Amino acid sequence: MFDAYEVIRNAPMREYTTLKLGGPADWLALPRNGEEIAGLIREAREAGMPVTVIGHGSNLLVLDGGIRGLTIRIGRNMREIRRNGNRLEAQAGAMLSALAAAAADAGLAGLEFAGGIPGTVGGGLAMNAGAYDGEMSQVTAGAEGLTPEGKAIRLNREELAFGYRTSAIQGSGIIITKAEFILEPGEGKAIREKMAELNRRRAEKQPLDQPSAGSTFKRPKGGFAAALIDQCGLKGFRCGGAQVSTKHAGFLINRGSSSRDFLDLMRKVAEAVEKETGIRLEPEIRVIGEEEAAS
Ligand SMILES: Cc1cc2nc3c(=O)[nH]c(=O)nc-3n(C[C@H](O)[C@H](O)[C@H](O)COP(=O)(O)OP(=O)(O)OC[C@H]3O[C@@H](n4cnc5c(N)ncnc54)[C@H](O)[C@@H]3O)c2cc1C
């Protein structure tokens, strides 16, 4: 199967996620372009296999049983970024940090917020990633991709239907291959300084030296997840090797855990916060794959 493509059989997903958790993906493909993705989808459909798309795996909890079927990772083989006047066009596997750096190099402002988000353009669009008052919706002109049937599709900004940490891509099965961003002329040095300042603030507040998927929960109405978790005395709270970071209570980290531990911790934290404050925390991270079969 998939003979014409770069694929890894039984790929351990802990090597492909920033949380460093998760069982094997049956087949992990690393395509180079839209044609390869279409070919992979065709073969998977013919074999009756489910298809999952991932980017850098920085917002994912993959369960211990791993992912059945074909997992398409849009990453290192699709990282081209091109400038066209005030616009940047990027392949979906380009890292947001590289996109922000390319914007700074070109003297284009608007992507400074994205410089420290450790995901790809495709993942950033799917999640409408954002930070420090910026988010992908503000700079995205449109995107290209493939439907679950493998047909080419173009989506403009309205069709991408961005919301808070979501977009029309979430759950649609559409695979983004390319996106275009509209930026404002700026001054390279000032743009770079702003990015450095935001990255300093990030490093000061976030446990960047520990495996995580960033903020585990979305910001609830009327509060901040980290403040609510802290208020409930849960900093440092553990389930097995999964722990609420002592540096930033919004980050749940892996200190030698299983995905099971991590899910238990997410559930217990959400229950405790709801009991204490009446506010229900919803996960921001995407949970995919299968639980390990009971032995
Ligand atoms: C230390 C740390 C800090 C973080 N800080 C922030 C932050 O400030 N703001 C923020 O918003 N997030 C943050 N995150 C979370 C994460 O980086 C973002 O959500 C990012 O946009 C995810 O991109 P990814 O490529 O890793 O996607 P993945 O985690 O691989 O996937 C996330 C979702 O996007 C979908 N997806 C990925 N690529 C594609 C594609 N090509 N086509 C269609 N769907 C696709 C997947 O199916 C999945 O549903 C942080 C994470 C970490 C580890």
The pLDDT assigned to 292 comes to 84
Q: Which of 203, 229, 257 is the last residue of a domain?
A: 203
Q: Is the CB of 13 under 6 A from ligand 1?
A: no
Q: Is the CB of 18 under 6 A from ligand 1?
A: yes
Q: Are 51 and 173 in contact (CB under 8 A)?
A: yes
Place of tokens 């916060």: 273
- Within 8 A by CB and 6+ apart from 238, the residues are 244, 255, 265
The pLDDT assigned to 176 comes to 98
What CA–CA distance (Å, rounded) separates 36 from 41? 9
The pLDDT assigned to 253 comes to 98
Residue 228 included in any domain: yes
Domain that holds residue 134: 81-203
User: Residue 111, SS3?
Assistant: coil
pLDDT > 90: percent of the chain: 98
The pLDDT assigned to 9 comes to 98
Q: Which of 184, 203, 222 is the last residue of a domain?
A: 203
The answer, yes or no, to whether residue 260 has pLDDT greater than 90, is yes
CATH number at residue 281: 3.90.78.10
Grade residue 295 by pLDDT with cuts at 50, 70 and 90. low
Report the chain's mean pLDDT, rounded to a whole number: 97
- Within 8 A by CB and 6+ apart from 271, the residues are none
What is the tens place of the pLDDT at every residue in 103-114? 999 999 999 999
What is the tens place of the pLDDT at every residue in 6-28? 999 999 999 999 999 999 999 99
The pLDDT assigned to 222 comes to 81
Based on the domain organization, do 150 and 174 belong to the same domain?
yes
Ligand 1 centroid to residue 123 C-alpha, Å: 4
Task: Count CA within 13 A, CB hemisphere, residue 135.
Answer: 14
The answer, yes or no, to whether residue 293 has pLDDT greater than 90, is no
Ligand 1 centroid to residue 129 C-alpha, Å: 7
Residue 212 included in any domain: yes
The pLDDT assigned to 294 comes to 60
Q: Residue 248: is it exposed, middle or buried by C-beta count within 10 angstroms (0-12/13-18/19+)?
A: buried
Based on the domain organization, do 100 and 195 belong to the same domain?
yes
Q: Whose CA is nearest to atom 33 of ligand 1?
A: 123
Three-state SS across 57-88? CCCEEECCCEEEEEEEECCCCCCCEEEECCEE
- Can you state the angle between helices 96-105 and 188-205, rounded to 10 degrees? 150
Based on the domain organization, do 86 and 63 belong to the same domain?
no
Based on the domain organization, do 85 and 177 belong to the same domain?
yes
What is the tens place of the pLDDT at every residue in 91-134? 999 999 999 999 999 999 999 999 999 999 999 999 999 999 99
Grade residue 152 by pLDDT with cuts at 50, 70 and 90. very high
Q: Whose CA is nearest to atom 43 of ligand 1?
A: 175
How many other C-beta atoms can be found within 10 angstroms of the C-beta atom of residue 36? 20
Based on the domain organization, do 248 and 276 belong to the same domain?
yes
Instruction: State if pTM tops 0.85.
Output: yes
